[in-house]
Amino acid sequence: MYAIRVENLTREFEGLVAVDHISFNVESGEIFGLLGPNGAGKTTTINILCTLLKPTSGYAEVAGFDVVEEKDRVRENIGVVFQELALDEKLTGRENLEFHAMMYGLRGEERRKKVEEVLGLVELYDKADMLVEKYSGGMKRRLEIARGFIHNPQVLFLDEPTLGLDAQTRRHIWDYIKELNRKYGMTIIITTHYMEEADYLCDRVAIIDNGKIIAMDTPQRLKDILGGDVITVEVEGDVERLLQCLKRQEWIKDTKRRDGFLDLTVEKGERRIPELINLSQKIGVNISYISLHKPSLEDVFIHFTGRSIREEEGEKNIRRGRKGFRR
């Protein structure tokens, strides 16, 4: 059974197409990632799926319910952690959880137990009775994740869950997400523009750019599209001679020469480096530099779009700064 079905989903904002005829299915129990630069349409997609925005056209179904026609049924079955914090900072952590649980129909003893349980899971037990405005960014995020799954939703949406957090906190959050998926079999949809996040967490990833899905598969298979690892070598002496010799090797899938360097596409690059050195010594060519690059989802993104996700970061920061100033 599919937890989410999306068919030709489209959303326009005053002529601007934010989501452009996307289709995908998410299986029950999967961690599914929407990876792409800011402004690619990830958040719009999430907002449509959790009933906050109406699609311009197309169809979407969450937990078996139509997101337009059966909003209330969808809402009962999802948990959402939004990109921007959505906590009441004038309430304590526990009150935020309690109120949320009440809204979702948890009662009495069951509610009390559940609140304790999730507080324990995200390790906020000691801070539960502090006002949220006193929390650090990481603590707020953890509280939101706890709140997102306290009512046992079938599908949990996480929109950029680690945005703006330091590396250590990010690791921590990843662990909670994995734990949730493993322990409760919860279907999780996560949007991110961090390649390593998508790679580490997701069973499958859809790469999205300009409102369109440009590739979708497991992280490993997406990276396999690139054909393997790249070993880059620089040599002192006869480059051409080494190149001719390497071209005869079966395990080297591709060779490319670029200003003094040789790029070799191979599988399991780390195991091939010694062999490469032996070969070059045998024919009397000295290697002066060697490096191994394992393909990342970033490379996959570049492969499909011709630009890097990171390049877009700068623009986004400018936009944010402006927004901050307006406040």
Partner 1 sequence: MKSIEWVAIYVLWLREMKRFVRAKSRVVGMLGMPLFFLVFMGLGFSNIPGLPGDIDYIHFLVPGIIGMGLLFTSVFAGLSVLWDKEFGFLKEIMVAPVSRLSIVLGRTAGNATTALIQGILILAISAIMGFRPNGIVGLGLAVVFMLLIATTFIGLGLIFASNMEDMHGFSLIMNFVIFPIFFLSGALFPIENLPEWIIKICYVNPLTYGVDGLRGALVGVSSFPIAVDILLSTVFSIVMVLLGAYFFKKSESV
| Options 15-23, 55-63, 87-95, 297-305: segment touching partner 1 (CB under 8 A) | 87-95
State in angstroms the smallest separation of the CB of 259 from partner 1: 49
Binding mask 94-113 for partner 1 (x = CB under 8 A): -x---xx-xxxx--------
Any contact of residue 279 with partner 1 (CB under 8 A)? no
State in angstroms the smallest separation of the CB of 263 from partner 1: 45
Residues 112-151 that bind partner 1 (CB under 8 A): 131, 147
Any contact of residue 32 with partner 1 (CB under 8 A)? no
Nearer to partner 1, 306 or 324 (CB): 324
Nearer to partner 1, 124 or 230 (CB): 124
State in angstroms the smallest separation of the CB of 311 from partner 1: 27
Please identify which residue in 14, 72, 129, 259 interacts with partner 1, judged by CB under 8 A: 72
Q: Token digits for 327?
A: 């406040």
Please identify which residue in 7, 27, 88, 179 interacts with partner 1, judged by CB under 8 A: 88
Q: Token digits for 114?
A: 């559940």
| Options 47-55, 240-248, 280-288, 297-305: segment touching partner 1 (CB under 8 A) | 47-55
Asked if residue 9 lies in contact with residue 23, where contact means CB atoms within 8 angstroms, the answer is yes
Sequence letter at residue 138: G
State in angstroms the smallest separation of the CB of 88 from partner 1: 5
Please identify which residue in 50, 60, 97, 242 interacts with partner 1, judged by CB under 8 A: 50
Count of residues interacting with partner 1 (CB under 8 A): 30
For residue 75, give Cα distances in angstroms to 48, 52, 80, 104, 164: 12, 10, 9, 9, 28
Which of left, alpha, beta for 257 (phi over 0: left; psi -120 to 50: alpha)?
beta
Residues 175-234 that bind partner 1 (CB under 8 A): none
Tokens 């998508």 correspond to what residue?
198
| End-to-end C-alpha distance for the chain, whole angstroms | 45
State in angstroms the smallest separation of the CB of 178 from partner 1: 24
Please identify which residue in 17, 87, 226, 290 interacts with partner 1, judged by CB under 8 A: 87
Residues 6+ apart with CB under 8 A from 236: 285, 286, 287, 288
Please identify which residue in 6, 40, 41, 47 interacts with partner 1, judged by CB under 8 A: 47
State in angstroms the smallest separation of the CB of 295 from partner 1: 35
For residue 161, give Cα distances in angstroms to 20, 197, 205, 246: 24, 10, 16, 45
Q: What ranges make up the beta strands (E) of 51-181?
A: 57-62, 65-66, 78-81, 155-159
Please identify which residue in 1, 90, 220, 282 interacts with partner 1, judged by CB under 8 A: 90
**Could you give the angle at the alpha carbon of 189 between the alpha carbons of 186 and 191, nearest 5°?**
150
Nearer to partner 1, 190 or 215 (CB): 190
Please identify which residue in 82, 135, 176, 301 interacts with partner 1, judged by CB under 8 A: 82
Asked if residue 250 lies in contact with residue 215, where contact means CB atoms within 8 angstroms, the answer is no
Binding residues (CB under 8 A) for partner 1: these are 47, 50-54, 72, 75-76, 78, 80, 82, 84-91, 95, 99-100, 102-105, 131, 147, 327
